[in-house]
Amino acid sequence: MNISINGRHLTVRQDLRDLIEKKLAKFDRFFPGGADAAVTCRTERDDKIIEITINVGKTIFRAEKASDTFQTALDGCLSSIERQIRKNKTRLEKRMKSDIAVPAPALEDDNVDEEVLFDIRRKTFPVRPMSLEEAILQMNLIGHSFYMYLDADNSKMSVVYKRHGNTYGVITPED
């Protein structure tokens, strides 16, 4: 697994780097074809926050945890990602075929439903071109954390969403 460790507004100590690499090595059994992991460490107020993103083919596993120590936050992220893999292992095996191979002995606790049916609510709405600022206003008016709209600047469907810390993000498809 290729691991990239970054610190936001801090320098990640070598002992923490070694611990992250050691603990992420246990996921090598899930990804025999290799995977890329990006780990970001940061502090906010008194919290130590670790964000882990693992890319395997077209699938992304992500977890972010805050705690009083980086080690506790790291353990929380790793258990969250392992839970994601266990919960979706059948679906992932079908989708990715050889990219992710989840060995049976590695997953002793298989009490998670293999095929969970999704309860999907479909909704349609009229789409009209609008600016990013207008889309943010509409999102805030309806009280959602995201809003899909037709961008007036580039005529592409885009999604604006609310991020942590009252900032916003925009998702736009590539050309």
pLDDT 10s digits, 142-160: 788 999 999 999 999 999 9
Q: What is the pTM of this model?
A: 0.63
Asked if pLDDT for residue 4 goes beyond 80, the answer is: yes
Mean pLDDT of the chain: 84
**Cβ neighbours of residue 175 under 8 Å, at least 6 residues apart?**
none
Give all domains of the chain, ordered by start, each with its CATH number: 2-106 (3.30.160.100), 129-171 (3.30.505.50)
Average pLDDT over residues 19-33: 88
Query: Strands 146-151, 129-130: parallel, antiparallel or unpaired by DSSP?
Result: parallel
pLDDT in tens, 58-72: 778 889 999 999 999
Of 123, 165, 125, 130, residue with least CA distance to 150: 130
